[in-house]
Amino acid sequence: MASDRVTAAARVLVVAAAGAAAASSIGRGLYATASVAMLVAVWTGVTAVIAAQASAPPPPPPPPAPDAAERQRLVAYLDLSPAPLVAYRAGALHAVNRAARRLFASDDMIAAPPPSLVEAITRTPPGRTATVMIDDAPYALAVGALTLAGDVAQVGALIDIGAELKAAEAAALRELVQILSHEIVNALTPIASLAETAAEMLDDVQPDHAAVREAVTTVARRAAGLQRFGDAYRSLARLPAPERRRLATADFIADVTRLFAARWPTLPLHVEAAHAPVQLLADIDQLSAALWAILQNAVEAADDAAALRVTLNVETLADTITFTVDNTGPPIPSAQAEAIFHPFMTTKPAGSGVGLALARQILRGHGGDVVLASSTPGHTRFVATLPRVGSEG
């Protein structure tokens, strides 16, 4: 490269010197000398042009056209896409991949494309999406621009929204069935136990009619609450808004304690309610279901229920009413502290993973919450809260 620059500079100097010599010779009348100088300048310039042409790099060859194998690979990649791909160019709509050919029953150009699709693909800017109806089914259309053989084509990808909606509806239905099953089974177990106990007491020579009446009353109340709970789910397909009413806290605790004793007769529930409010303002059926789910989780998570101790503490704080459930079972890993409240997440072989999720949903519907406050070997604590507004402390 350096030698080329030196050669070019020398040629420039030769041409300049020859030109100057020719001008000087003409001025002094030396026409023969001037002619020689002009010939030298011309010859140097011509050789410079020839050298430049010889040293110029040849133009790059045109890019090779894709061969048949490469084209087949590209087509195969496009056909793997489950989303129909279409291209609009030169006033015609083309099916690009197998999914589009199947949707529009066309091998290439779509003879009678849906007008809504043509309008959407031509008016939607690249990088944006639109919604179109094709054969009475909703599709999402994602649009992009592509240059093909010098022409700009609008390329669209169609996503079947109807299929996504059906999948979401199926998932919601499964969740609804799981929650209903969970509520029905867990409510019927203590009801059946109380009913059996009442029947056995009636077989005594001198039955305790007061105890029988109390057991039957509890069964009737819980059965009616379960029926209302199921009816609301069936009619609304979601957790109903809480219907708040006042109830004496002592009656609520006594009801929960009887149900616990009926479900686990050999496991006492230790209740601390010295600082509990006088009354509760809540949907009592929903609140019972939420607290029952927390208590059931405390018992069923233990490896040895006989050695377990479960404590329920009801307390009034400045702005909240707390229901604290302590148990002496195994700890919950910190990585699962939040996951245990997710629907269908369970660590129990026969668990449904619905109880704690339902409890949180109920309490949040009341303006409260439930959290795993702490969990260490031999001590796990859940704290459920309700707003104190409207309750008498």
Is pTM beyond 0.75 here? no
Structure confidence at residue 25 (pLDDT): 46
Average pLDDT over residues 313-342: 89
Distance CA 32, CA 25 (A): 8
Evaluate if residue 351 carries a pLDDT over 80.
no
Structure confidence at residue 334 (pLDDT): 84
| Tokens 């195969």 sit on residue | 76
Average pLDDT over residues 280-295: 92
- With cut-offs at 50, 70 and 90, classify the pLDDT of residue 36: very low
Average pLDDT over residues 90-97: 85
pLDDT one-digit tens code per residue, 8-29: 444 443 444 444 444 444 444 4
Evaluate if residue 56 carries a pLDDT over 60.
no
- With cut-offs at 50, 70 and 90, classify the pLDDT of residue 173: low
Average pLDDT over residues 226-243: 65
Structure confidence at residue 103 (pLDDT): 85
Of the candidate ranges 160-174, 293-307, 358-372, 377-391, the one whose mean pLDDT is the lowest: 160-174
**% of the chain residues with pLDDT over 70:** 66
Highest mean pLDDT of the ranges 78-92, 201-215, 299-313, 324-338 = 324-338
- With cut-offs at 50, 70 and 90, classify the pLDDT of residue 216: confident
The better pLDDT of the pair 325, 241 is held by: 325
Average pLDDT over residues 62-85: 69
- With cut-offs at 50, 70 and 90, classify the pLDDT of residue 230: low
User: Which of 185, 181, 125, 121 lies closest to 155 in space, CA to CA?
Assistant: 121
- Other CB atoms within a 10 A radius of the CB of residue 118 amount to 18
Structure confidence at residue 391 (pLDDT): 54
**% of the chain residues with pLDDT over 90:** 21
Mean pLDDT of the chain: 75
Structure confidence at residue 326 (pLDDT): 95
Evaluate if residue 260 carries a pLDDT over 90.
yes
Evaluate if residue 42 carries a pLDDT over 50.
no
pLDDT one-digit tens code per residue, 122-166: 888 887 777 888 877 788 888 887 765 566 778 888 887 766 666
Average pLDDT over residues 165-191: 67
Average pLDDT over residues 28-50: 44
